[in-house]
Amino acid sequence: MRTEAAFRSKGDTCRGWLYTPDGGEGPFPLVVMAGGWCYVRELVMPHYAEFFTRAGMAALLFDYRCLGVSDGEPRQHLDPNAQIEDYRNAISFAEGLSEVDPDRIGAWGISYSGGHVLILAATDPRVKCIVSTIPVVEGYRNMRRVHGTMGFRRLMDAVLEDRKARYRDESARGYIPHAAPDPERTLSSWPFPETYETFIQLKETEAPLYQNSSTIESVELLMNYSVHPFLPRILDTPSLVLVAEGDDLTLWDLEIDAYNRIPSAKKKLFIIPQTSHMTLYSDRSKLEIAAGQATEWLADHLVKPFG
């Protein structure tokens, strides 16, 4: 069953959906979910939520502030620290729901939010288990590699010009496409034509509120983003990291290196074979592999130990 949900985060309202199992009696274990770069709640996450509810877990997925159906200004602004705060406030909201067991809360994330849940595992003891799917782990290195030398020069020029413009007039902030069909000519945050094609298709089929745009400041914030200071603090939180074989978007070598830096023995790395970052969105069979692994891990830690 799916119902509307809303909670407050730093004075604004975040909106999402609460999924609960059709059978059984609550309170249920809960998986808190949010998306990656420019994602809205309709985008891919409901498919994962349905896997989780069939395994006896509830799921709360939501739009961050400034995106989709949630409040907040400026629109399409992606601040990773604010997004992690939204996760924390989603957990605080969920703790008070009669359908939810507050002692069995997990967190799931994908791409940008795949990094967010690693930080949550290190910093929020209410999170009893995480699934980090194709995570962004170090924004600066990520941007340098995917843009290449000349592309990165153009990106840095745009970031600095935007900073100067915002200093003169906050309303003059600039925007940049999430992706573009011609990244060699059109500057975008993630310069992959398949990213543009996949998200435009998803906008047409399941996520009409998706917008192919973010503030340029969002890219500046991404380049200050790293999960590495937090990884040594993941000592006892069961952590599954799902990596797409050969992922050259969020960079599977950086993801595997981040996984290896988690000191906890309660961890697992699963490499999804013969896939890529974007096929986890465009190919349902690849999504089902990832969802199956995530469901098994979450159930092993949030459901099975409790009978």
pLDDT given at position 281: 96
pLDDT of 306 > 90? The answer is no
pLDDT given at position 244: 98
Q: What is the mean pLDDT of residues 235-253?
A: 98
pLDDT given at position 25: 85
Q: What is the mean pLDDT of residues 260-285?
A: 96
d(CA 200, CA 84): 26
pLDDT of 220 > 90? The answer is yes
List 133's β-bridge partners, or say none. Answer: 110, 242
Q: What is the mean pLDDT of residues 232-246?
A: 98
pLDDT given at position 206: 96
Cβ atoms of 30 and 94 closer than 8 Å? yes
pLDDT of 261 > 80? The answer is yes
pLDDT of 234 > 90? The answer is yes
Q: What is the mean pLDDT of residues 187-202?
A: 98
pLDDT tens digits, one per residue of 47-82? 999 999 999 999 999 999 999 999 999 999 999 999
pLDDT of 101 > 90? The answer is yes
Cβ atoms of 209 and 68 closer than 8 Å? yes
Mean pLDDT over the full length of the chain: 97
Q: The tokens 């969802």 sit on which residue?
A: 291
List 9's β-bridge partners, or say none. Answer: 12
pLDDT tens digits, one per residue of 147-193? 999 999 999 999 999 999 999 998 899 999 999 999 999 999 999 99
Instruction: Report which secondary-structure segment, H or E, holds 91.
Output: helix 80-95
pLDDT of 24 > 90? The answer is no
pLDDT given at position 230: 98
Q: What is the mean pLDDT of residues 6-13?
A: 98
| Sign of torsion over alpha carbons 244, 247, 252, 255 | negative
Q: The tokens 């996450």 sit on which residue?
A: 45
pLDDT of 118 > 90? The answer is yes
pLDDT given at position 27: 97
Rounded to 5 degrees, what angle do the CA atoms 3, 18, 90 make?
135
